[in-house]
């Protein structure tokens, strides 16, 4: 796992997420590392033949981005292989088209929580650390199942996420 450097080419996906529209809906900008994590999540969605970008794809995207949020997830027991195993178990019908994609309601709520976390802290953009905070706060079915199945202690992940977002956390 490594942290992608600024300016490093983002992975290509057959599907695309309308980032400007998502930023308007969330009311906050998505930072470069956040865009990379979302792009990696789209690649994972395509790889698994899913039609919507879900929480499990976001988890993979954050881990693959390789920054502090990924390290936090790994330290709490979430690995890339385990996240992908959870995707494989999800009951999805294969997608049959590429192009603009939508978010599951759970993924949309995670990103809304990430936007709120960024806004409350005066951060100018959503980054993977805000998304991880969203995972820890999420009470939704898939995120809860994925974190539980790999043994992640959500209260501890939430506490560590809050620390990571604090001024002294980086």
Q: What is the CATH number of the domain that holds 105?
A: 1.10.1780.10
User: Measured between alpha carbons, how far is 94 from 110 in angstroms, rounded to an integer?
Assistant: 23
pLDDT of amino acid 102: 87
Contact 42, 103 (CB under 8 A): no
Would you say residue 119 lies in a domain? yes
Task: Note whether residue 4 is domain-resident.
Answer: no
Does any domain span residue 159? Answer: yes
Domain annotation covers residue 5: no
Closest to 62 (Cα-Cα) out of 36, 87, 86: 36
**In b/e form, how buried is each residue of 51-68, taking b as 16+ CB within 10 angstroms?**
bbbbbbbbbbbbbbbbbb
- The answer to whether 59 and 73 are in contact (CB under 8 A) is yes
Strands (E), 54-132: 102-103, 125-126
Q: Over the stretch 58-95, which tens digit does the pLDDT of each residue have? A: 999 999 999 999 999 999 999 899 888 877 776 555 54
Name the pTM for this structure: 0.84
Range of the domain at 143: 19-165
Evaluate whether residue 100 is within a structural domain: yes
In this prediction, residue 49 has a pLDDT band, given cuts at 50, 70 and 90, of confident
**pLDDT of 98-155, one tens digit each?**
456 789 999 999 999 999 999 999 999 999 999 999 999 877 677 878 888 888 888 9
pLDDT at residue 10 above 50? Answer: no
The answer to whether residue 120 sits within a structural domain is yes
The token pair at 101 is: 């994609």
Torsion angle in degrees (nearest 10) through CA of 137, 94, 150, 145 = 50
Burial class (CB in 10 A: 0-12, 13-18, 19+), 134: buried
CA pair distance 155, 67, nearest whole angstrom: 21
How far is Cα 112 from Cα 58, in angstroms, rounded to an integer? Answer: 13
In a domain, 130, yes or no: yes
Domain annotation covers residue 43: yes
* Residue/partner pairs of 78-81 with CB below 8 Å, 24 or more apart: 78/146, 78/147, 78/150, 78/152, 79/150, 80/1
Per the structure, the count of domains in the chain is 1
């Amino acid at each position: 796992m490594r942290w992608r450097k600024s300016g490093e080419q983002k992975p290509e996906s057959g599907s695309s997420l309308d980032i400007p529209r998502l930023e308007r809906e969330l009311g906050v900008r998505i930072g470069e590392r956040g865009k990379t994590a979302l792009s990696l999540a789209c690649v994972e969605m395509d790889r698994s033949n899913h039609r919507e970008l879900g929480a499990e794809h976001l988890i993979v995207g954050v881990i693959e981005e390789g920054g502090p949020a990924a390290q936090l997830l790994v330290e709490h027991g979430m690995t890339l292989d385990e996240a992908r195993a959870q995707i494989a178990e999800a009951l999805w019908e294969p997608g049959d088209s590429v192009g603009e994609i939508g978010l599951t309601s759970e993924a949309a709520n995670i990103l809304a929580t990430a936007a709120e976390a960024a806004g409350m802290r005066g951060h100018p953009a959503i980054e993977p650390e805000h998304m991880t905070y969203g995972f820890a706060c999420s009470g939704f079915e898939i995120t809860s199942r994925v974190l539980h199945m790999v043994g992640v202690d959500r209260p501890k992940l939430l506490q560590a996420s809050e620390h990571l977002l604090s001024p002294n956390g980086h």
